[in-house]
Amino acid sequence: MPTDAEAEGPAIPLARWADRQLAALARDHGLPRLDGATLLGERGANGGYRISGKVSAGLGGSRLLPTRDGGWFALTLIREIDRELLPALFGNADLAVEDSDAIAANVARHDCADLVERGRLLGLPVASADEIPASAPIEVLELGPHRSRAAGHRPLVVDLSAIWAGPLAGHLLWQAGMEVVKVESRTRPDLIRRDDPATFDLINQGKASVLVDFGCSAEKARLIDLIRRADIVIESARPRALLQLGIDANALVREVPGLVWLSVTGHGARGEPANWVGIGNDCGVAGGLARAMAEVTGEIGYVGDAIADPLTGVTAAREAMRALEEGQARRIGLSMSAIVAMALAEEQAHDPAMLESELHAWGTGIGRPFPACPRRPLTAPVHSLGADTARILRETVRC
């Protein structure tokens, strides 16, 4: 019979690092005191996730596969387009893209670095267990004019991001008392609404909901007006996609006094890495966490649940609060893979023995559940899709 501790599952490595960041947010900026283990583990615990080794937890959308040169290649397939791109990735037009064994066999015929380079050129979320992040974890990309805010001013946050990292940052800012407006595309709402409604509700409660038709110039103009009124903007789009939506982040930061703009990226917001796609699980691998566990246990695998997302969400909220208090407009780039590497290095310096123990327990715990984590209760309504569009954009527009 398993013990109570075994039934609960081991602690998620880097949860203690997240907890220190949350403690700093509470101490320095007055946020409610949240728990790092809760933010990293609540989705997995409440979803019944188990440690799956070389397959990511939950739906198993990411896999670690051995390559010809002895490397380990992380491949995430959660979008329809991902599988469509596999024949080009492997140079195999006859590949059965739904066959996991066939995909693994094709990975084994290539060197890891070649697959990562080709995959990123194609727009696939891929990583190597042995890469070094290409960007700084936190980078100021643009500066603009200063703004002095009156005492009692309630900051306005425009959240253009999706899935987990950006919305979690918005959730933490909402918990700090800010007004948060979640903006979604009329044609492509946030996928987590459909795929994980429990998590969606938890990190989007209390946010106003606005729908925008990005094919309509009048609606886009009203969105720009909203952004100009904002104190903080959160987005997770690649640069070209943002510009195609008619949003020039750098120009807005230069023009709007005090505007804090958070660009959440997989691998960086400058140069070629800005075009690379990154998802929480493969970014955790790119940040060195899978390799760190392999060095302890001899077995490689995924650590946590899309761990780069919650680590980045907490980091983004802390950077936003700092910048808001300083008052100078700025655009801040956040690299998910580099934030994982930063957290790993800081935890190794902080308590190497405890981190090694946690990595060992996780790496040898295949089949065990995620650590028990009570679901945080909802404390505010979850607004229905588009419920606040007319009010927030001030008038309806027909295209």
Contact present, 288 and 307 (Cβ < 8 Å): no
pLDDT for 4 equals: 44
Q: Are strands 126-128 and 72-76 parallel, antiparallel or unpaired?
A: antiparallel
Mean pLDDT (10-residue bins), the chain, 399 residues: 58 98 95 94 93 94 98 95 97 96 98 98 98 98 96 96 97 97 94 92 97 91 95 92 88 98 97 96 98 97 98 98 97 98 98 98 96 92 96 71
Place of tokens 């930063």: 342
Q: Which residues of 39-61 are buried (b: 16+ CB within 10 A; e: fewer)?
A: bbbbbbbbbebbbbbbbbbbeeb
Instruction: Say how many C-beta atoms besides its own lie within 10 A of residue 26's C-beta.
Output: 14
Q: What's the CATH superfamily of 4-51+134-273+301-392?
A: Crotonobetainyl-coa:carnitine coa-transferase; domain 1 (3.40.50.10540)
Burial class (CB in 10 A: 0-12, 13-18, 19+), 273: buried
DSSP-H helix ranges across the chain: 4-8, 15-29, 36-46, 80-84, 86-90, 100-107, 112-122, 165-175, 192-195, 197-204, 217-229, 239-244, 249-255, 280-286, 289-297, 308-326, 336-350, 352-363, 389-392
pLDDT for 397 equals: 56
pLDDT for 399 equals: 67
pLDDT for 372 equals: 92
pLDDT for 67 equals: 98
